[in-house]
Each structure stands twice: as C-alpha cells, then as structure tokens.
C-alpha cells in the first residue's frame, strides 16, 4: 500500500517542480524541452526551475523538511549512503532511482 502524504501545505513552487520533474522522467529524461540533470538528485535539479535564490532556498528547506517528516536522511534520502549516491550519479542513473521516482509521484499536487 502506498504511503499517503499530507500535501495541503506543499507550496505551489515545490508542487510545480515535482510535476515537471516527474513529466521529464516519464518522457525518458530527454533534454528536448525541460532539462534536468540525469546525474543529480532533487536538491540539485530544483535549481534549474529558474526561481530566485530566496524562493529556491525556501523550496529546498520545504523539501528537506518533507524528507525528515518521512524519516528519510535529508542529504541522501533515496540512497544508502554517499558512496551509493556517487555511484548512481557517476553512472547518470539518478533519474532512474525508483525510490526517488516514487517520492516525486507521491508528492504530485495540482498547481492552481
């Protein structure tokens, strides 16, 4: 049974990021429209949204708080450790991490 998260307080900006990242992954992580990094996690890819520094920092803080509330390690929430993250990143496979994809999918929320 999938975990249900309370998304009522999720910001529109973070929701938009999750929507765009998930769409990018579902299209095969192609760089023809939205370009995210295949070798990076969510915390780095969020920088590509084009928001101001302040909004980006607020989004990162919000996302890391979501990780903490879900009892995930806020630095490498979808990997066993730094070595595992580096291996995944070095192989350009971060976008295929099923834990990351499941997280993003479970945090999709319509932006009004």
| pLDDT per residue as tens digits for the range 83-101 | 999 999 999 999 999 999 9
Q: State the Cα–Cα distance between residues 52 and 38, nearest whole angstrom.
A: 23
pTM over 0.85: yes
Per-residue confidence at 111, pLDDT binned at 50, 70, 90? low
More reliable by pLDDT, 109 or 108: 108
Torsion of CA 26, 92, 10, 19, to 10 degrees: -20
What percent of the chain clears pLDDT 70, i.e. is strictly above it?
92
Measured from the Cβ of residue 46, the count of other Cβ atoms closer than 10 Å reads 21
Query: Can you tell me the mean pLDDT for 61-67?
Result: 95
52: left (phi over 0), alpha (psi -120 to 50) or beta: beta
- DSSP state at residue 39: T
Query: Can you tell me the mean pLDDT for 27-56?
Result: 90
């Amino acid at each position: 049974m999938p975990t249900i998260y309370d998304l009522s307080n999720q910001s529109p900006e973070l929701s938009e990021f999750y929507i765009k990242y998930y769409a990018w992954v579902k299209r095969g992580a192609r760089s023809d429209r939205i370009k995210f990094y295949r070798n990076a996690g969510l915390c780095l890819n969020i920088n590509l949204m084009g928001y101001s520094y302040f909004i980006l920092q607020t989004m990162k803080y919000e996302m890391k708080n979501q990780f903490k509330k879900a009892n995930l390690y806020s630095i490498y929430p979808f990997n066993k450790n730094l070595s595992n993250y580096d291996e995944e990143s070095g192989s350009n496979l971060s976008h295929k991490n099923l834990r990351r994809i499941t997280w993003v999918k479970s945090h999709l929320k319509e932006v009004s």
